[in-house]
Amino acid sequence: MKFKDKNEAFNHYRTATAEDIEKRAAEIGKIIDTDANAEVNALNVELDGLKMAKENLEARSAAKKKMSGFNPITGKSFSEISEKRDDDIFSSVEYRSAFYKKMLGKPLAQQDKDVFSRAQEQAITERRAAITTGTNTAVIPTTTLNEIVQKATTQGNILQYVRQFRIPANLSVPVATPEDAAEWHTEGTDVTPNTNTPTGVTFNAYELMKVFSMSVAANTMSIPAFESYLSTELTRTIGAALNSGVFNGTGSKQAQGILPGITWNAANSATFANSGLKYTDVLNLASLLKAGYSTGAVFAMSNKTLFSRVMAVTDTTGRPMFTTPTTGGAGYMLGYPVVIDDYIPDDTILFGNFQYYGLNLSQDILLEVSRESSFKQGLIDYRAMAVADGKVIVPEAFAKLTAAEA
C-alpha cells in the first residue's frame, strides 16, 4: 500500500500491535536494501508513519499506567488490583494450566482437578462470579484477564482515559470533584461542616456475553495458542462493547453513555455550521468546560470528523489548528490531546475529562464450554460472560460540539 504522507501511514497503522509494526519496518528495510527498483521515498514515508504509530502505542501504554482509575475500596489503581496476590489461585501457573486443559477437553491430572476445584470454591466464596462447582464454567486466569484489559485499553482509544473500577455492584463510591476544595480556616474558630452532598456513583450489574465456536480439532491446540486466540477474541468483542458503551450506552440493561446520559443544553453544548467547522467553534467548545475539569481534558472524535472537518481548520495566524505530535498520540488541538474513536458519531466533537466517566468490571470474566450444543456440526461452543457497568460521574466534566441540522 502506498501512502501520500506520513499522517496517512500513521492513521493506517495506529491500531497495529508493536509486533506488527516491527515486522513491517523490517520488511521495508529489506526491500530498500535488496530491491534496486524500490520506491524509496514512498517507503520512507511509510517508515515515518510506522515510527509515529510505535511512539503512539508507547505513549498510550504509559498514559494507561498513569491514568488507570483509583479504587477507593482497595486504595490501589485498577492495574494494581490485577497484580498477582500470594493467596490468589487464579494468578497461579497451576490454575492457568488446569483452566486451559479443561476448556480444551484435555485430560486433567489429579493435581489439575484439585486446583480447578479449589478455584471454583474460592470464586464462590469471594463472589467473584456466579458459578457452581462441578460445572464446565470457570473464571478466566488473571494473566489472561490482564492481557484482555491491556489490549482493550490500547485498541479502544478512550478506555485508557476513563476511570476504571473493580468493585462490587450496587456499592456507592464517593468521587472527589474540583468543587470539593478545602477551605481556609482561622485558628481557634469552629469548623463549619460542608453541607454539600458528595458526588457518588453506584454501578449496576449488567451482563456482557459472547458465544463463539471452534472446531473439535481445537483440543489439539497448545495452551499458549488457545490463550492467544481467546484473548484476541474477547478483546475484540467485550472491549468493543465497553468502548461503545462509554459513548452510546442507553443505561437500560447496559452502561450509560456520555451522549445519551447527559442533558445537553446551551450551557454545555454548541453547534457549528454544516458548511464547515471554524476555529472559533472549537474555542467556543473549550470555553464551555470549567477550568477545574480542563486539566486532563481531551478532545474526542471519529476518524472521519478529524479528516473531513478538523484537518482543514486554521487558527487566526493561518496555522493548522490540529497539530501532529513528534512523540506519539493522534495529535493536539489548543494544546489538548485528540483521541480518535469511531464509536463517536460523525460530526460530533466531545471535550472533557474522561476521568469523570466510570467503568466498572464487578466480576471476573467467566468462560463456559459445551461440547453438546453443536455436536452435529463438529464444533465446540464457548460462552464468555462479563458483568460490567459504566456511568457518567460528573456531567459538568463534558462539553459537546455537533454539526447543525441541515
For the chain, how are helix, strand and coil distributed in percent, rounded to 5? 40, 20, 35
3-state class (DSSP) for residue 180: coil
Choice between 189 and 240, residue whose per-residue pLDDT is larger: 240
pLDDT at 75 over 60: no
Could you read off the pLDDT of 206-217 as tens digits, one per residue?
A: 988 888 888 877
- Residue 181: its pLDDT value, please? 53
Q: How confident is the model at residue 79 (pLDDT cuts 50, 70, 90)?
A: very low
Full-model pTM: 0.66
- Indicate the length of the chain as a whole number: 406
Place of cell 478466566: 140
pLDDT at 77 over 50: no
pLDDT at 249 over 90: yes
Give 30's contacts (C-beta < 8 A, 6+ positions apart).
Answer: none
Choice between 323 and 145, residue whose per-residue pLDDT is larger: 323
Q: Alpha-carbon distance 363 to 169, whole Å?
A: 9
Q: Alpha-carbon distance 212 to 61, whole Å?
A: 29
Annotate 77-93 with DSSP letters as a single string.
EHHHHTS--TT-GGGSH
Q: Alpha-carbon distance 62 to 67, whole Å?
A: 9
Which amino acid does the sequence have at 390?
Answer: G
- Residue 259: its pLDDT value, please? 97
Choice between 147 and 256, residue whose per-residue pLDDT is larger: 256
Place of cell 501512502: 3
Q: Alpha-carbon distance 87 to 218, whole Å?
A: 32
> Do the Cβ atoms of 387 and 257 come closer than 8 Å?
no
Q: Alpha-carbon distance 270 to 263, whole Å?
A: 13
> Do the Cβ atoms of 349 and 194 come closer than 8 Å?
no
Q: Alpha-carbon distance 55 to 275, whole Å?
A: 35
- Residue 234: its pLDDT value, please? 80
Q: How many CB atoms lie within 10 A of CB 142?
A: 20
Place of cell 465497553: 242
In 3D space, the residue among 115, 101, 6 whose CA is nearest the CA of residue 50 turns out to be: 6
Which amino acid does the sequence have at 272?
Answer: F
Choice between 184 and 342, residue whose per-residue pLDDT is larger: 342
Q: Compute the average pLDDT of residues 265-284.
A: 96
